[in-house]
């Protein structure tokens, strides 16, 4: 009995505590609903614009750059804001190194000029010597040919006739001596002469016979040996003279060509050294920077400040400047422009020809009307270098008003007007979130909150135009629930996703890519790297069935499929063998 009493008492206390807790929860919920910050939907004028800071610059101006190579220091510098005339000195750069280089280069030019002149004279000497050698060789060939012709037509016939004449005289002398010897022999027989005189006549006959034989041998030697030898020697002399002429001609031509090539090389070297000297002279002249026209001097470093955020040291005396660096701007007209940098998220709103309202930081109370005239096709490289995640596009806004108070380098604020609505509904941009792939707001109705999808237009980063879905006077939450942004996408998004998945599978089926090394891509048994179980790609009918099955799934099943728990066929997906 006591136990039952204790039980009922405990149960009563529990029920009372539960009731108090539920009442407290309901009161807290109602209080939270009624005390959340809301915004009353209003109808009124709405301006869609893009605000961006920038820098004022002259619309048309001359950019004066440093044309001295390398890095040089500024010795003298004209004060910024000075009005100059054409030819006035703007800055003087350090040229001490260039002056030393000019002295060294002048010596090189003189040496190169001396070599060039010597090579030119040497060419004339080589040409003269070559002509002399060729003429001498031609003369030697001419003499050799004349000697050959002289021997054939003159010397050899004369020697031949002389040998024949000697034979004839020897024969006649021998005949006469023999007749004398016959007479002497008869006289000796008759004792008219002595034995000695007869022997003298006989000796004389033998001498004449030997002379005849010697004359005949000389003729034979001349025709059989001397003539052939002399003819061959003279023909060889002609041939040697011809080859010597060809050799000397070629050598003379080669010497002339070599001398000409040497002259061209020395001339090129001289011109190169002279060009260097001229370049150094030009560099020394360019170190004195003069104004090309009249205008107001503006330092380039001053004009680069503002919205561009360049990290550049100001232009002062003693500062080093590099080649091709902008030093001065000389405006040629009084018209100005505003240079602003548009973030990539606002590019869809901005187009050329849009009006813009410009306010100048240094001129409070003044506004200027401008027009967007140029949008860079690529992001600013300087901004990307300083912050790779920041993509801004340089945009020029031409001011239509001409005001002498506008100075290059002034900071400004540009409001580019995208659209103006006279009477539309609008809510703060933080009240709209995307739920299920569509813009959604949360409308407060008493102690309840209604989730409602709306149709919106453009925003100005503060208010967004509501085209449809809200009525004037309704209140929307300024801080929508965060979990609302994680609601599953609608059926249209799922259908589009399924179509995309089908296109991806078709692309994979047509892909013959093999991983590096020739190894096949990892896959499960019976599966290819681009198909499902069985190795076959799903057909269009199968894809349609999977889409319908996906539409019939509960939100829990869809979430499980996204997390890899099951496929569209409802079966668990294949897990890797090393999965935990």
Q: How far is CA 238 from the centre of its chain?
A: 66
- Whether residue 55 contacts residue 336, with contact meaning beta carbons closer than 8 Å, is answered with no
Query: What pLDDT, on a 0 to 100 scale, did the predictor assign at position 495?
Result: 66
Query: What pLDDT, on a 0 to 100 scale, did the predictor assign at position 57?
Result: 84
- Whether residue 472 contacts residue 38, with contact meaning beta carbons closer than 8 Å, is answered with no
Query: What pLDDT, on a 0 to 100 scale, did the predictor assign at position 576?
Result: 40
For residue 528, is pLDDT > 50? no
Query: What pLDDT, on a 0 to 100 scale, did the predictor assign at position 209?
Result: 82
CA 293/CA 450 separation, integer angstroms: 70
Domain 50-95+293-421: give its CATH code.
2.40.30.170
For residue 517, is pLDDT > 50? no
Phi, psi for 568 (deg, rounded to 5) = -70, -20
**Position with higher pLDDT, 59 vs 557:** 59
Query: What pLDDT, on a 0 to 100 scale, did the predictor assign at position 335?
Result: 82
Query: What pLDDT, on a 0 to 100 scale, did the predictor assign at position 541?
Result: 65
- Whether residue 195 contacts residue 215, with contact meaning beta carbons closer than 8 Å, is answered with no
- Those residues with Cβ within 8 angstroms of residue 270's Cβ, 6 or more apart along the chain or in another chain: 109, 112, 113, 115, 116
The tens digit of pLDDT for each residue in 296-318 reads 888 888 776 544 445 567 888 88
Please report, in angstroms and rounded to a whole number, the separation of the first and last CA atoms in the chain.
56
- Whether residue 43 contacts residue 472, with contact meaning beta carbons closer than 8 Å, is answered with yes
Least confident of 110-114, 223-227, 463-467, 544-548: 544-548
Q: Which of 451, 442, 477, 447 is nearest to 27 (CA)?
A: 447
Query: Average of pLDDT values for 537-550?
Result: 64
Angle among Cα 546, 539, 577 to the nearest 5 degrees reads 70
Give the count of beta carbons closer than 10 Å to the beta carbon of residue 426: 24
Query: Average of pLDDT values for 419-431?
Result: 87
Domains 50-95+293-421 and 98-286 alike in fold: no
**Position with higher pLDDT, 101 vs 192:** 101
- CB burial class (10 A; 0-12, 13-18, 19+) of residue 321? buried
CA 119/CA 112 separation, integer angstroms: 10
Eight-state DSSP code of residue 33: H
Every domain of the chain and the residues it spans: 50-95+293-421, 98-286, 489-504+538-574
**Angle at which helices 195-221 and 156-189 cross, to 10°:** 160
CA 499/CA 507 separation, integer angstroms: 12
Query: Average of pLDDT values for 93-111?
Result: 92
Phi, psi for 44 (deg, rounded to 5) = 180, -170
Rounded alpha-carbon distances, angstroms, from residue 237 to 146, 147, 234, 538: 11, 9, 5, 99
- CB burial class (10 A; 0-12, 13-18, 19+) of residue 537? middle
CA 440/CA 452 separation, integer angstroms: 6
Query: What pLDDT, on a 0 to 100 scale, did the predictor assign at position 567?
Result: 47
Q: Which of 145, 155, 149 is nearest to 222 (CA)?
A: 155
The tens digit of pLDDT for each residue in 167-226 reads 888 888 878 878 787 887 787 777 777 778 778 877 887 888 888 888 888 888 878 888
Q: Which helix (H) or strand (E) holds 299?
A: strand 298-299
Give the count of beta carbons closer than 10 Å to the beta carbon of residue 571: 9
| 389: confidence class by pLDDT, cuts 50, 70, 90 | confident
Query: What pLDDT, on a 0 to 100 scale, did the predictor assign at position 573?
Result: 45
- What is the chain's mean pLDDT, rounded? 79
Query: What pLDDT, on a 0 to 100 scale, did the predictor assign at position 11?
Result: 60
Angle among Cα 533, 534, 535 to the nearest 5 degrees reads 95
For residue 386, is pLDDT > 70? yes
Query: Average of pLDDT values for 362-385?
Result: 86
For residue 23, is pLDDT > 60? no
Burial pattern 466-491, b for ≥16 Cβ within 10 A else e, equals beebbeeebbbbeebeeebeebeeee
**Angle at which helices 491-509 and 540-551 cross, to 10°:** 150
Q: Can you list the alpha helix ranges (DSSP code H) found in 414-554?
A: 491-509, 540-551
Q: Which helix (H) or strand (E) holds 312?
A: none
- Those residues with Cβ within 8 angstroms of residue 267's Cβ, 6 or more apart along the chain or in another chain: 116, 119
Domain 98-286, classified CATH 3.30.379, yes or no: no
Query: Average of pLDDT values for 90-107?
Result: 92
3-state helix, strand, coil in the chain (%, to 5): 50, 25, 25
Chain position carrying tokens 């102690």: 447
Burial pattern 56-68, b for ≥16 Cβ within 10 A else e, equals bbbbebeebebbb
Least confident of 359-368, 509-518, 519-528: 519-528
The tens digit of pLDDT for each residue in 447-479 reads 788 888 888 888 888 888 888 888 888 888 888
Query: Average of pLDDT values for 106-118?
Result: 93
| 530: confidence class by pLDDT, cuts 50, 70, 90 | very low
Percent of the chain with pLDDT strictly greater than 90? 19
- Whether residue 308 contacts residue 384, with contact meaning beta carbons closer than 8 Å, is answered with no
Chain position carrying tokens 């950019």: 63
| 485: confidence class by pLDDT, cuts 50, 70, 90 | low
The tens digit of pLDDT for each residue in 224-279 reads 888 788 888 888 888 898 898 899 999 999 999 999 999 999 999 999 999 999 99
SS3 (DSSP) at 144: helix
For residue 31, is pLDDT > 50? no
Percent of the chain with pLDDT strictly greater than 70? 77
**Position with higher pLDDT, 374 vs 333:** 374
Q: Which pair of structure tokens corresponds to residue 97?
A: 């190194």
The tens digit of pLDDT for each residue in 559-578 reads 665 554 444 444 444 444 44
Burial pattern 280-289, b for ≥16 Cβ within 10 A else e, equals beebbebbeb
């Amino acid at each position: 009995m006591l136990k039952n009493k204790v039980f009922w008492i405990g149960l009563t206390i529990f029920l009372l505590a539960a009731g108090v807790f539920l009442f407290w929860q309901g009161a807290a919920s109602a209080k939270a609903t009624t005390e959340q910050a809301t915004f009353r939907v209003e109808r009124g004028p709405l301006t869609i614009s893009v605000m961006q800071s920038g820098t004022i610059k002259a619309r048309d101006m001359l950019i004066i750059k440093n044309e001295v190579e390398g890095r040089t220091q500024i010795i003298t510098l004209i004060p910024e804001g000075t009005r100059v005339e054409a030819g006035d000195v703007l800055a003087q750069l350090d040229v001490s190194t260039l002056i030393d280089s000019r002295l060294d280069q002048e010596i090189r030019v003189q040496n190169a000029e001396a070599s060039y002149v010597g090579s030119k004279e040497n060419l004339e000497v080589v040409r003269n010597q070559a002509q002399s050698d060729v003429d001498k060789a031609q003369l030697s060939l001419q003499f050799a040919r004349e000697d050959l012709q002289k021997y054939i037509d003159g010397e050899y016939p004369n020697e031949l006739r002389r040998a024949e004449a000697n034979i004839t005289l020897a024969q006649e002398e021998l005949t006469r001596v023999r007749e004398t010897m016959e007479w002497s022999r008869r006289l000796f027989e008759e004792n008219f002469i002595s034995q000695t005189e007869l022997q003298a006549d006989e000796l004389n006959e033998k001498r004449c016979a030997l002379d005849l034989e010697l004359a005949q041998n000389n003729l034979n030697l001349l025709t059989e040996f001397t003539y052939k030898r002399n003819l061959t020697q003279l023909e060889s002399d002609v041939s040697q003279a011809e080859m010597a002429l060809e050799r000397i001609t070629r050598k003379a031509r080669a010497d002339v060509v070599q001398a000409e090539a040497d002259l061209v090389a020395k001339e090129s070297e001289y011109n190169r050294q002279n060009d260097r000297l001229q370049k150094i002279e030009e560099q020394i002249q360019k170190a004195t920077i003069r104004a090309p026209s009249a205008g107001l001097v503006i330092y380039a470093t001053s004009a680069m400040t503002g919205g561009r955020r360049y990290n550049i040291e100001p232009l002062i005396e003693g500062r080093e400047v590099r080649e091709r660096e902008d030093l001065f701007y000389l405006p040629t007209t009084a018209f100005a422009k505003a240079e602003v940098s548009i973030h990539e998220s606002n590019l869809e709103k901005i187009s050329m020809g849009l009006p813009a309202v410009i306010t100048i930081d240094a001129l409070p109370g003044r506004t200027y009307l401008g027009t967007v005239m140029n949008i860079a096709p690529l992001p600013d490289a300087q901004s990307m270098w300083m912050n790779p995640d920041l993509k801004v596009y340089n945009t020029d806004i031409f001011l239509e008003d001409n005001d002498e108070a506008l100075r290059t380098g002034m900071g400004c604020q540009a409001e580019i007007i995208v659209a103006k609505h006279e009477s539309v509904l609008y809510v703060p941009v933080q009240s709209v979130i995307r739920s299920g792939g569509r813009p959604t707001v949360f409308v407060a109705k008493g102690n309840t909150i209604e989730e409602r999808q709306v149709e919106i237009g453009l925003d100005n980063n503060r208010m967004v135009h509501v085209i449809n879905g809200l009525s004037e006077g309704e209140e929307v939450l300024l801080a929508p629930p965060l979990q609302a942004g994680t609601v599953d996408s609608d059926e249209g998004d799922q259908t589009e996703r399924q179509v995309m998945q089908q296109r991806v599978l078709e692309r994979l089926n047509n892909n013959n890519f093999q991983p590096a090394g020739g190894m096949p891509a990892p896959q499960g048994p019976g599966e290819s790297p681009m198909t499902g179980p069985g190795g076959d790609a799903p057909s269009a009918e199968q894809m349609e069935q999977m889409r319908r099955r996906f539409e019939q799934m509960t939100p829990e099943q869809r979430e499980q499929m996204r997390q890899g728990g099951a496929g569209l066929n409802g079966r668990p997906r294949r897990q890797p063998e090393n999965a935990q």
